[in-house]
Structure formats: C-alpha cells, structure tokens
A and B are shown apart, each in its own frame.
Chain A
Amino acid sequence: MPSPRYWREKQSRFRLEAVRCRDCKHVTFPPRSICPSCRSTALDSMRLSRQGKVVTSTVIHVPPGDFLMQAPYAMAVVETPEGARLMVQVVDCDPTSVQPGTQVSLEFRLIRREGHSGILCYGHKGVPVA
C-alpha cells in the first residue's frame, strides 16, 4: 500500500475519529461525507471512546502473508458505546475466548509490517477487559 494512503487515513486510524449525523444521529466509522443512514451531509466529527463489545468474532488459522507470524489470532466486529462498529484483532488473550458479548478496550498497536523492510502500520486492537 503506498504511504500517502496511511497519511490520509491517520485521523480515523490513529485517533479513532468518526462522524455523527446532525439529522439522524447515526455514528459512522471511519468518517464519510454522506450519512449512510439518511444521506445527510451535516456530519460532525467526533472521537470514539476506546472500548466496545464483540458483536461477532472468529479465529483466523490461515492468514494473509503479512500476518503469517501472528496466526492463530482472533478478529471481531466490535461495537463502541456510541454505536460505531469496527473490525479489529483481539489480542493478549486466548483467541478462542473471544466470543459475542466479550468486552474489550481498544488500544493503539502495531498492526503489520508491510513486506520485509516496509513501513510499520499502526491502528487499534481490542484487548479483553477482565
């Protein structure tokens, strides 16, 4: 992935910025210019709280190349208290323990190293809350 792409996405990826629709209150992550719920363009930027609940999950046993050394790892759709949903890895736990309903905190982590000597790619991962 070319580096301008990481630069463009840093607000959502590093700061967990979303948008809330002024008309229907729908929260969308990452930000868009048109609300997917009501098509309004009156959207306010907001920060998501760094926590959420697992909606559904899996454990990846056959990973893409960049993630070879991490498998098996858990992935989940996590819903934040604001109603935004994110796809994240869930780490620092037994991956099979990640199930619908599991509470996680969203922490800033290294996601992948691109290629053998490529740039380090950061983002958020879930960590189960004891």
Chain B
Amino acid sequence: MREVAMVAAGMTRFGELWELSLRDLFVEAAAEALRTAGVEQVDSIFVGNMSGGQFVGQEHLGPLMADQLGLAGVAATRVESACASGGAALRIGFMAVASGMADIVIAAGVEKMTDGADVTEVLATAADQETEVYHGVTFPGLYAMIARAHMESHGTTEEDMAWVAVKNHKHGALNPKAQFRREVTIDEVMASSMVAEPLRLLHCSPVSDGAAAVVLCPLDQAHRYTDKPIKIIGSGMATAPMALASRKDPAFLDAVASAATRAYAMAGISAQDVQVAEVHDCFSIAEICCVEALGFVPRGQGAKAAVSGCTALGGQVPINTSGGLKSKGHPVGATGIAQAIEIFDQLRGEAGERQVDGARLGLTQNMGGSGASSVVHIFEGV
C-alpha cells in the first residue's frame, strides 16, 4: 500500500443556505480544494451523500458533480452510508490512492436538507423501516432510547448530556463556518423543548446545508501541491446490527469500537496517543457513547468527560473543536469530510482560536444511523 496524504481542503459554511443548491454547495467546496492544491487533473471523485434522491430528488451524483466541476469524463461515483457517507467517501478515496488505482482523488461530501423534504422522515430511512420506523420511531427517538439505556446502566444524567452541548457550542462560537456561532448555557439546554425524552432540542444537531471536499494523493507526490501535507495513517470501518432492538447493549456502540480498533491497528497507535478528535455528536448522548467506544475513557464513564472539561479546548483530549455536529451543523453527507478538514487544520497549526497546541495526531469518527455503521480515520502531521 502507498502512503496517502491530504493536501488541500475546501468547505462551504454550514447552515440554512437558501441561496445555494445541492450542486452549488458541492462546486463551492470542491473548487476551493482544487484551487488551493493547484490541481488541474483528477483521477477520481467520490461524493459522500446520504439522500440527494429524497431531499431534492437528485440521484446519480457522480457524473453530475464531475460535470459541474468542469471535469466530465473523470471517474466519479456517490458513496452512501447514511450520516457516515462522508467518512465512507474519504475511506474509498484513501483506498483508491493507497492501492495505486488513482493518484489525485477528490473525496467530498454534500447534503442539501432545507429544500422542503420532510427531514425527519428522510433521516428515518437510515433506521430499519420494517421493524422500527413502521411503529413510529424517529431518529431522536432512537438516540433517546440509547440515552435512557446509558442512564439506566451507568447513572448518566440529563445534565451530563447537556454539558456536551454547552462545550460544543463554546467551540463552535469560534468557528466562522459554524451554523450556530454562539454559546449556550446549561440552563438554556435544560429548558429547551422536549423532542424525545430525555433528549431536548439543544441535545440535537440541527438541519443543515453544506459541503466539504479534500484532495488526496500519494505522500511522495504531496510536495507538488502543499508544503504541509497531512498523512492518513489509519482507516477503519465497521457495522453493527441495524435495529437498536438487535443490539445486546443498546448503550454501547459496537460499530464505533470495532472501526476504532481497526484504525488504531493500522496506524500503530492507541487511543491515548490521540491529541485532538472530531466525533459524531449528532445527539449529545452520541458523543458520550463515542468517547467510550473510541477508548478515550473507560466504558460507562463517558458522561463526565464533558462535565470535567477533559474533552474541552485546553483539556486532556479536546473533542469537537469545530463545534461538532451540534454547533457547526450536520449536513449529513458532508459531515465526515468536514470532520477531516478540522483535523487537517489542527495538524497544520491553522485552526486559529481553536488551535490545540502542538497537535500532531488526530482522529475523526463518523457514524451512520443509530450506530449501525461507523468510520474512523487517524491523521498525522508530517
């Protein structure tokens, strides 16, 4: 396998971007990445996207986006794993370069969620239609059941979960690309309206539009495009039973743990070596479960990580310095790539007010559905 580097990134701001269409979003992010790298020719494009078909009635995104970029002719395809589509696109792009099948790859993600589709129903298609959605469950409902199981098994409280939102909004307030550039207080979170007990509105990531793109190439060619390449040293993906009812412990995310184990093994590192991470906080409880599954804290002890400041900027392992899905926004297909871009900036020392001093090893963890799929990547500054 060849060593693979990320050499350039492009990203729209995240939010309700009424003036931009699905294709506009993609082109803005991907063109910025190509321009930054000074790349003219591309071998392959992978477009992470959960559901262009349902959100805006558009499928077949590979050729559409290649064409819109002025690159009709290039090999291009859509990659889907629900909300982990971006992470999956990055992984496929990594594999294409590592294998020698391609030299220059665009790995991108895009989602247009605000064009009028019923977002709750579209997102629910990432759950099991026949055994879960049929009976009236929603995505917040599934994570609410994960939360209640975690509270039951480990004594986690609603306030513990609220601290995750407070922390991520504090980070996001420093991010010019974030949908909600403002802090929230613990009282505001605890007083926000109920969505699915015990999860309130401010425990949930928002509905967002956005796109993100990175350019990958073999490490030994990276100097042509940048003097600060970032190596991808580990990539792991795993699945778990689709339905929450089929999982032995609904409070533990097995797919995240397995994906992390594979990524750590490939990178030759352990969780304790990671200095900054972006994890999939689609709901506050998800970050709590993910820090456990990734091995940052022992199983069952994720609740106190945000409360204690351990995962805040300045803490032991800062998590979601971008603001996370909660504050930065969650255009589902774009999220996995946006996470990689935050780590790219961190490891290059270009994260501004959010910079984690001296960060050299970073991790991203992207997740689909109620945790049925997860992708983990590990990055190293060169």
Interface residues of chain A, those whose CB is within 8 Å of chain B, are 1, 9, 30, 36, 55-67, 70, 72-73, 75-77, 85-89, 96, 99-100, 111-112, 121, 123
Q: A55-B245, A64-B121, A87-B131 are in contact. List 14 more A-B contacts (CB 8 A).
A: A1-B129, A30-B131, A58-B144, A58-B145, A58-B198, A58-B199, A60-B140, A64-B124, A65-B118, A77-B244, A77-B250, A89-B136, A111-B134, A112-B136
Closest to A66 in B: B136
Question: Shortest CB–CB separation between residue A12 and chain B, in angstroms?
Answer: 9
Q: Which of B202-225 contact A (CB under 8 A)?
A: none
B132 in the interface, Cβ–Cβ < 8 Å? yes
Question: Shortest CB–CB separation between residue A122 and chain B, in angstroms?
Answer: 11
Using a Cβ–Cβ cut-off of 8 Å, how many residues does chain B contribute to the interface with A? 36
Measured in the bound complex, the distance between the Cα atoms of B194 and A96 in whole Å is 12
With known contacts A87-B131, A87-B132, A87-B244, A60–B137 Cβ distance under 8 A: yes
Q: Please give, as numbers and ranges, the residues of chain B lying within 8 Å of A89 by CB-CB distance.
A: 135-136
Contact across chains for B244 and A36 when beta carbons are under 8 A apart: no
Question: Shortest CB–CB separation between residue B201 and chain A, in angstroms?
Answer: 9
Measured in the bound complex, the distance between the Cα atoms of B131 and A111 in whole Å is 12
Q: Which of B148-192 contact A (CB under 8 A)?
A: 148-149, 152
Contact across chains for B197 and A58 when beta carbons are under 8 A apart: yes
**7 tightest A-B contacts by CB?**
A58-B144, A85-B245, A56-B149, A59-B197, A67-B136, A56-B145, A61-B194
B120 in the interface, Cβ–Cβ < 8 Å? yes
Interface centre among A9, A58, A99, A123 (most CB of B within 10 A): A58
Closest to B194 in A: A61
Q: Please, could you name 26 A-B residue pairs with CB atoms under 8 Å apart, sorted by A? A: A30-B130, A30-B131, A36-B241, A56-B145, A56-B148, A56-B149, A57-B145, A58-B145, A58-B148, A59-B194, A60-B137, A61-B193, A61-B197, A62-B138, A62-B195, A63-B136, A63-B138, A64-B133, A64-B138, A75-B141, A77-B244, A87-B244, A100-B148, A111-B134, A123-B134, A123-B135
Dominant SS at the A interface?
strand
B110 in the interface, Cβ–Cβ < 8 Å? no
Contact across chains for B148 and A57 when beta carbons are under 8 A apart: yes
Contact of A55 among B118, B124, B129, B149 (CB under 8 A): B149
B196 in the interface, Cβ–Cβ < 8 Å? yes
Question: Shortest CB–CB separation between residue B1 and chain A, in angstroms?
Answer: 30
Closest to B201 in A: A62
Contact across chains for A73 and B250 when beta carbons are under 8 A apart: no
Q: Please give, as numbers and ranges, the residues of chain A lying within 8 Å of B47 by CB-CB distance.
A: none
Measured in the bound complex, the distance between the Cα atoms of B245 and A75 in whole Å is 12
Q: Please give, as numbers and ranges, the residues of chain B lying within 8 Å of A75 by CB-CB distance.
A: 135-137, 141, 145
Question: Shortest CB–CB separation between residue A72 and chain B, in angstroms?
Answer: 8
Q: Please give, as numbers and ranges, the residues of chain A lying within 8 Å of B121 by CB-CB distance.
A: 64-65
Question: Shortest CB–CB separation between residue B161 and chain A, in angstroms?
Answer: 13
Contact across chains for B197 and A111 when beta carbons are under 8 A apart: no
Measured in the bound complex, the distance between the Cα atoms of B251 and A73 in whole Å is 22
Measured in the bound complex, the distance between the Cα atoms of B245 and A57 in whole Å is 11
Question: Shortest CB–CB separation between residue B183 and chain A, in angstroms?
Answer: 25
Interface flags for B102-138 (1: CB within 8 Å of A; 0: not) read 0000000000000000101100100001111111111
Closest to B150 in A: A56
Measured in the bound complex, the distance between the Cα atoms of B130 and A34 in whole Å is 18
Interface centre among B132, B136, B146 (most CB of A within 10 A): B136
Measured in the bound complex, the distance between the Cα atoms of B133 and A64 in whole Å is 9
Measured in the bound complex, the distance between the Cα atoms of B135 and A112 in whole Å is 8
With known contacts A87-B135, A89-B135, A123-B134, A58–B196 Cβ distance under 8 A: yes
Contact across chains for A77 and B245 when beta carbons are under 8 A apart: yes
Measured in the bound complex, the distance between the Cα atoms of B120 and A88 in whole Å is 19
With known contacts A55-B250, A60-B196, A87–B149 Cβ distance under 8 A: no
Q: Please give, as numbers and ranges, the residues of chain B lying within 8 Å of A1 by CB-CB distance.
A: 129
Question: Shortest CB–CB separation between residue B301 and chain A, in angstroms?
Answer: 19
Interface flags for B244-272 (1: CB within 8 Å of A; 0: not) read 11100011000000000000000000000
Q: Please give, as numbers and ranges, the residues of chain A lying within 8 Å of B244 by CB-CB distance.
A: 77, 87
Interface centre among B145, B193, B243 (most CB of A within 10 A): B145
Measured in the bound complex, the distance between the Cα atoms of B250 and A66 in whole Å is 26
Q: Please give, as numbers and ranges, the residues of chain B lying within 8 Å of A9 by CB-CB distance.
A: 130
Contact of A100 among B138, B152, B194, B246 (CB under 8 A): B152
Q: Please give, as numbers and ranges, the residues of chain A lying within 8 Å of B193 by CB-CB distance.
A: 61
Measured in the bound complex, the distance between the Cα atoms of B250 and A76 in whole Å is 12
With known contacts A36-B241, A55-B149, A85-B245, A60–B131 Cβ distance under 8 A: no
Contact across chains for A62 and B140 when beta carbons are under 8 A apart: yes
